[in-house]
Amino acid sequence: MRRFQRGAAALEFAMMLPVVLLILSAVLDYSWYLNQATAVVNATREGVRMGVTVDIPLGADAEAISHTTRALASYGIPCESSGVCSVRAAYGTVASMNSLTVFVEAPFQPLFGLVPTPEVLRGEVTMALEDQVNPIPT
């Protein structure tokens, strides 16, 4: 090996290391975002599924909000006492059927923050109420 080629591999490694680390942090940040976004949608779906099984006078919307909040906590997104999450439920009508919609907004914290990611995770799920006898409260 010639004298001027001895440090070439180390120099190439030193030049490529920041690029490789940036790509790795981007992959990890986006993977974390997809994981958390999926968790928000799953928790929202679990909450609305629980809410549609409860009779309207008994508080289907309150049950949906409560179950969604517990599901979010089980996925590692605490909303019960933090006050930074927003979980809402609303009655509506879809295709002439009574329905319940649950909306969730939670802040997103990236792992590294070196690449742009959304600041808020959002989920919205609508399901038809199982008990169609009682009218929607106004």
pLDDT, tens only, 98-133:
889 999 999 999 999 888 989 999 999 999 887 655
Where are the strands (E) in the chain, listed by range? Answer: 86-94, 97-107, 120-128
Q: Is residue 3 part of a domain?
A: no
Number of domains observed in the structure of the chain = 1
Q: Is residue 1 part of a domain?
A: no
pTM of the full predicted structure?
Answer: 0.81
Domain that holds residue 116: 8-128
Q: Is residue 18 part of a domain?
A: yes
Q: Is residue 56 part of a domain?
A: yes
26-61 pLDDT, tens per residue?
A: 999 999 999 999 999 999 999 999 988 887 777 888
Q: Is residue 133 part of a domain?
A: no
User: Residue 6 is encoded by which pair of tokens?
Assistant: 């001895």
Q: Is residue 2 part of a domain?
A: no
